[in-house]
Amino acid sequence: MRTIDWIDGGIELIDQTLLPHRLEQRRVTELTDLISDIQRLAVRGAPALGVAGAMGVALIAANVAAADTSGDAAAARAEVVRQSLLLREARPTAVNLSWGVDRALTRLDEGAAAILDEALAIRDEDIAACISMGLRGADLTRELTGKDPVRVMTICNTGGLATVERGTALGVIQTLLEQGSLAEAFPLETRPLLQGVRLTAWELQRMGAPFRLLIDSAGPFLLSRGIADAVFIGADRIAANGDSANKIGSFSLALAAKHAGVPFIVVAPESTVDMATASGSDIEIEDRGVAEVAGFGGVRTAPEGIEAVNPAFDVTPYELITAIVTERRVIRPGTGETLATVPLEPLRS
């Protein structure tokens, strides 16, 4: 099952807003629908957004070519760029969306077919990257904890729903399960949109993993009581100094893991590393407004007329991160390693 794919001239994606109650695929053939799906989180997760960005450019190029009756190549090119910039800005924090758009646009002068080829290459690379991250992360977890099997905690959703197939942080958990090294997983509910409840629990259940769900505010306390041997999170953007932006609540887990002496591990593909962003203070944090906080599922739970501060992400300083795992390397900030100094290695498979 793929979260997002290109089929018969259009994008097909799982509508994650309907899970876990209904598994439904949407077919997207218009840019406005894709932008809406990204903003309402029908498709979400940094790697999946990278694929959506690239496939979106392929969709734009195909639609512009089909609508062009003038034969003006320069005007058509300009229109593809204009629409791609709208897609690029659909969500600001995750670097993968803009990365996917920009990479697809490198093939613009070669035509719509070449853009699609690039988008499909990004899709296939993501699948291979998730396998490699899972293997590197599983080995690292056993090394850092000295335990086998291990108990792990995670927040938000970083599984196949956040990528194309297997996932980043949850992909490591799946690999541990497949290797017989997972004792138990502890996903956090992930307020306010409950991605942990709706999506991660659904994926863990489907893979047959032993797990128990936690409310967000219980995670740090339970870490202090020794419930987990390691914490895994994903990342929506990793700055050049190693600061990592992820779902709100990640920073609290990092502080608690530091207090408890538990490894705190960021798992994300190389495409999430943004060497043009110096530190976490330079990462724009998306605020999603009051509606998500004031109610859920169409039921209002807060008084009318209130305001809210609702950051979708927070930033964990590199000093609190034990390791960053990508498909090509492991960086350990605590030992002085940096993204600039640790070389890339071949993919694992």
Could you list the active site residues? 236
* Contacts of 90 by beta carbon, 8 Å cutoff, 6+ apart: 35, 38, 39, 97
Residue 85 to residue 87: CA distance in whole angstroms: 5
Q: Is 247 part of any known ligand binding site?
A: yes
Given a contact cutoff of 8 angstroms between Cβ atoms, the answer to whether 34 and 11 are in contact is yes
At 93, the amino acid letter reads T
The answer on whether 246 is annotated among ligand-binding residues is yes
State whether the Cα torsion 194-195-196-199 is positive or negative: positive
Residue 237 labelled as part of a binding site: no
List the beta strands (DSSP E) in the chain: 4-7, 10-14, 25-28, 150-154, 182-187, 230-233, 237-239, 244-247, 264-267, 273-274, 295-296, 299-300, 313-316, 323-325, 330-331
For 13, phi then psi, to 5°, come to -145, 150
Has 235 been labeled as part of a binding site? no
CA angle 15, 66, 71 (to 5 degrees): 150
* Structural tokens at position 323: 């390791």
Q: How far is CA 313 from CA 24, 155, 214, 216, in A?
A: 27, 12, 19, 14
Inter-axis angle of helices 95-105 and 73-88, nearest 10: 170
What's the burial of 136, exposed, middle or buried (CB within 10 Å: 0-12/13-18/19+)? buried
46 is in an annotated binding site: yes
Does the annotation list 45 as a binding residue? Answer: yes
Distances (CA, A) of 231 to 179, 201, 237, 242: 18, 16, 18, 17
One-letter amino acid of 89: E
Which residue ranges are tagged as binding site? 44-46, 91, 195, 246-247
Q: Which residues are annotated as a binding site for substrate?
A: 44-46, 91, 195, 246-247
